Amino acid sequence: MRPGPGTATAARSAAVRGNAAAFGRAGHDRWRQLERLLDRAENATAGELGASGVRKLLALYRQACADLSQARTLVGGAALVDRLNALTGRGYRFVYHARDGGRLRAALRDYFETGLPRAFRRQGRAVAAATLAFAMGAVTGFLCVLARPDDATRLIPAMFHAESPRERVEKIESSPERIASLEDAAGFGSSLYVHNIRVSFLAFALGAATLVGGLWLLFYNGVVLGAVAATYVLDGVHVFFLAWVGPHGALEIPAIVFSGAAGLRLGQALLLPGDRSTRAALREAMPDVARMLCGVIVVLVVAGLVEGSFSQFTARSFPYGLKIAVSVVELSLLVAYLFLRPLPAGDDA
């Protein structure tokens, strides 16, 4: 006797139920894990969940989306599809619809509180090498001009020789303040960003491409700064120099050094990967390099704002002592934030 249509339908239904049950058993544990993580995530910030917890949640969410697609097309079973629909819907809301930007703010807070300082501390050798190259250049330029003042014309770009340091100080201090409004500060600051970003990018690019080129550029910029400082010392106006350059230099110079350090780290991965493949070395280096460059951008923006405003005021508005004190505070806070401040134990990735 041939089976009738009802018998065939019943057989297919039984097969679907069997497939759905087996599929449900195979995915049960990871779905429960995702549910538990979502329960935590919906009542916590990304920081409280932790970097590893967020990564695990995202991986389980992607797997659940794949499971839902398979359940719809291959397995069947309305109850199973409904469960996965609800689960992936919760995951979607967490991943793509953070309430009031709260999780975005938490992620940014985690980045600046721990992610950025950890990146700089992990790459301490590159930062030390870049700092040493710049410092050696500054000392060399300073001592050369002190020993032989005529060397200043060979070490310093011609634009700085239009007048002596003392004449420049007298001219600035006797003229009206350069910055009379917020618009003036913004306009002047924007022109400074271009120069600072150009120098920082060049230090990064040369370090990444050649290693030695990045160190040389840092050394050369140090020579120029040291030589200029020596001319102000010889003219007896070194206090003005510290007050004029210090407020933005305390941020701008470290930013250039950090950019060079990021280039050195990338160059090491490209040119000296060691026992690993170049791809593996780059995969290890890139996260910290990217974090360092993001930090450089932030510092350069702040330095540009300071240089376009506070640095430009003369002693009539802000005494030299105050401006120098601000410089010391800025540099101290930057170093403490990146290298000295205790960080909570956690995932360094």
Across the range 96-110, mean pLDDT stands at 64
35-41-42-43 Cα dihedral, nearest 10 degrees: 120
Tell me which of 44-48, 164-168, 175-179 is least confident. 44-48
* Cα 57 from Cα 16, distance rounded (Å): 29
Secondary structure class of 306 (helix, strand, coil) = helix
Tell which residue, 174, 170, 294, has the closest CA to residue 235.
170
Token pair for 14? 């039984």
Across the range 232-243, mean pLDDT stands at 94
Across the range 59-82, mean pLDDT stands at 79
Tell me which of 19-28, 72-81, 104-113, 126-135 is least confident. 72-81
63-74 as b/e, with b when 16 or more CB fall inside 10 Å? ebeebbeebeee
**Helix intervals (H) in 71-158:** 78-96, 102-110, 116-122, 124-147, 152-155
Number of H helices, E strands in the chain: 14, 0
* Cα 62 from Cα 78, distance rounded (Å): 21
pLDDT: which is higher, 264 or 196 = 264
pLDDT classification of 297: cutoffs 50, 70, 90: very high
* Cα 245 from Cα 229, distance rounded (Å): 10
Instruction: Please determine, for residue 73, whether its predicted confidence score (pLDDT) is greater than 80.
Output: no
203-215 as b/e, with b when 16 or more CB fall inside 10 Å? bbbbbbebbebbb
Across the range 101-106, mean pLDDT stands at 61
Instruction: Please determine, for residue 103, whether its predicted confidence score (pLDDT) is greater than 70.
Output: no
The pLDDT of residue 66 is: 85
Q: What is the pTM of this model?
A: 0.70
Q: Is the dihedral of CA 323, 327, 333, 334 positive or negative?
A: positive
The pLDDT of residue 15 is: 47
In sequence order, what are the residues at sequence separation of 6 or more whose Cβ sits closer than 8 angstroms to the Cβ of residue 336? none
The pLDDT of residue 100 is: 47
